[in-house]
Amino acid sequence: MAIKKTEPIFETVPRVFNKTVDQNGSRVALRTKDLGIWHDITWNTYHDKAKKVGCALVSMGFEKGDAACIIGDNAIEWVMADLGIQCVGGVSVGVYATNAWQQVEYVVNHCDAKFLFVENEEQLDKWLMFRKKTPLLKKVIVWDTKGLLAFTDPMVMTFEQLIEKGSKVDEEHPTLFKDYQAKVRPDDLAVIIYTSGTTGPPKGAMLTHKNVTWMPGAIDGTLKISKSDNVLSFLPLCHIFERLFSVFISLKFAYTVNFVEKPDTVMQNMMEVSPTFGYGVPRIWEKYYSNIIIKMDDATWFKRLAFKIALKIGQKRADAVMNFKTPGLFDKGLYIIAWFTVFRKLKERLGFENIRVAISAAAPISKEVLRFYQSIGMNLIEVYGQTEGTGATTVSPEDKTKFGTVGRPLKGIDIKIAEDGEILVRSPGIFKGYYKSDEATAETIIDGWLYSGDVGEIDADGFLKITDRKKDIIVTAGGKNITPQYIENKLKASIYINDSVVIGDRRKFISALVMIDEDNVMKFAQDNKIQFSTYKDLTGNEKVIALIDEEVKKVNKTLARVENIRKFTILPKRLYEEDGEVTPTMKIKRKFVNEAFKELIEAMY
């Protein structure tokens, strides 16, 4: 008798949402802070608001497959709109709040959006710059109306008015929302994520309901997530990394999502919330790290000594654990003393005391920074993935992390290394393709495999090690292959260096453009009585250049001779996302920097 193969059953966002609400309706789903007080929103309320959003949109002509855009900082209205759109079969498209109006116009028109949700007056003003060029838009909905009380426009309505409209529609047609939910299929589009991209205009990665509902289960196979967890939402929601943890993983496991008041209150809100699960891009973890080091430099001699001794003890333990070794009894005893005298208090002051596991993703993080967090007793691990694979490909197990790697493939994900070293990925999380770009899709997905664009290798323990972006690998004039990312990560471990771009393709030697950590270098300047009036003055000061030179020399000692940075230049200006110089996750747009600072680069050669 033939054995019939059981095909996996894939879900949809509305089905997962309904199930979670049925089982956890009275539990807290979201928390937001207003006028100094944290307010709780239950799963029942969350679902009710999303339902009213969906009903209102349908009543205004929104149909299955239509797109709606959302632009604004993280907020409960953002995710309510997001799920309302998806639950009636629409496609939710996030737009970065920091985008210039021209970039917003591009996304709104490219995805053929029928509705646009905006946070406030600032975001509404962007739409007003191109309102005559969006004939498909039916309505613009604003959720924060401060400064807009006297504003009237037939195209604009408030989020409250939308909810009221949805409530009336729901009363008149009580089965409408359920009927639309039932029509949604796993292969239907759920979201389009516009990749910030370090080259060219953004591409719209199409993720299906199957993609976004499958990934949470795959992640849970490695990281044990439960409804007792709570997270702090602060990265841009239109980025797949934040969207996973604030929406899709939350939907499956029913934990609580806390929204920061503003992007610049992350550290304060972290202390107030004290999440059990932490995540961020490398720049967040690097900033916490440099702040700690700088503050310890200003501490009393006794505190400095205690921290130095505790850190050495912690590093010894971290090195053992990260190499799958068990620390000896004596070392364990020393670490317990270090924990109770130094590390426990440090984590409490940062709001890290309840973090079970923390994740760094979206860009590489230096080994030195990872080692620091492991040393103080915080299990910071790397996650590797890309938007096109629904955000995550490999994760280190909570109890088995390895320096220099990004973990093992998640359950259900296949990885292989091509002949040229490129990492290829296959899983139910692989995206449907790029919206309106068959050519780019065909270049990225070949025979079911996602061509990641990253070069790497798999070690004997099955852990993936990323070498660099395929297109970024440097071949020197002498024919040597250099991976700039490796050198740049070492430079970023310095508390005085924010980022860098290593140069050297077809050149006789390696050089670097360096971006200083402004806060820490300013403190150095103040401590050393260095006078400056502008950023350019600061970066051009001889003592500051000497400071960075010392940091570069430290890095050179850890590199092969061919990798040594022979010359460097400190960039005389800040890099801004609004100017297209860095991505929203703070990755430098290498192509832009190479073009914009061509003269500085040539001067080094």
- By the 8 A CB rule, do 429 and 211 touch? yes
Assigned CATH topology for domain 473-603: GMP Synthetase; Chain A, domain 3 (3.30.300)
Integer Cα distance of 155 and 59 in angstroms: 15
The ranges of the chain with pLDDT < 70 are 1-8, 196-200
Q: Which residues neighbour 395 within 8 Å (Cβ) at sequence distance 6 or greater?
A: 219, 222, 223, 359, 381, 383, 384, 406, 407, 408, 410
Determine the pLDDT at residue 355. Answer: 96
- By the 8 A CB rule, do 42 and 26 touch? yes
Integer Cα distance of 436 and 560 in angstroms: 45
Q: What is the phi/psi pair of residue 395, to 5°? A: -145, 145
Give, for 585, the enclosing helix (H) or strand (E): none
Q: What is the phi/psi pair of residue 476, to 5°? A: -70, 170
Give, for 561, the enclosing helix (H) or strand (E): none
Give, for 78, the enclosing helix (H) or strand (E): helix 76-87
Integer Cα distance of 36 and 151 in angstroms: 28
Neighbours of 340 (CB within 10 A): 10
Determine the pLDDT at residue 142. Answer: 98
- By the 8 A CB rule, do 78 and 84 touch? no
Burial of 477 (0-12, 13-18, 19+ CB in 10 A): exposed
Q: Which amino acid is at 226?
A: S
Look at residues 99, 55, 128 and name the one whose alpha carbon lies nearest to residue 201.
99
Q: Which residues neighbour 114 within 8 Å (Cβ) at sequence distance 6 or greater?
A: 61, 62, 66, 67, 68, 136, 137, 138
Assigned CATH topology for domain 13-258: Rossmann fold (3.40.50)
Determine the pLDDT at residue 199. Answer: 55
Neighbours of 100 (CB within 10 A): 15
**Token reading at 223:** 């990281």
Q: What is the phi/psi pair of residue 433, to 5°? A: 140, 180
- By the 8 A CB rule, do 281 and 255 touch? no
413-427 burial, b if ≥16 CB within 10 A, otherwise e?
A: bebeeeeeebbbbbb
Q: Which residue has the tokens 């409960």?
A: 76
Classify strands 414-417 and 28-34 as parallel, antiparallel or unpaired.
Answer: unpaired
In the DSSP assignment, the letter for residue 29 is: E
pLDDT tens string 507-540 = 999 999 999 999 999 999 999 999 999 999 999 9
User: What ranges do the domains of the chain cover?
Assistant: 13-258, 274-356, 473-603
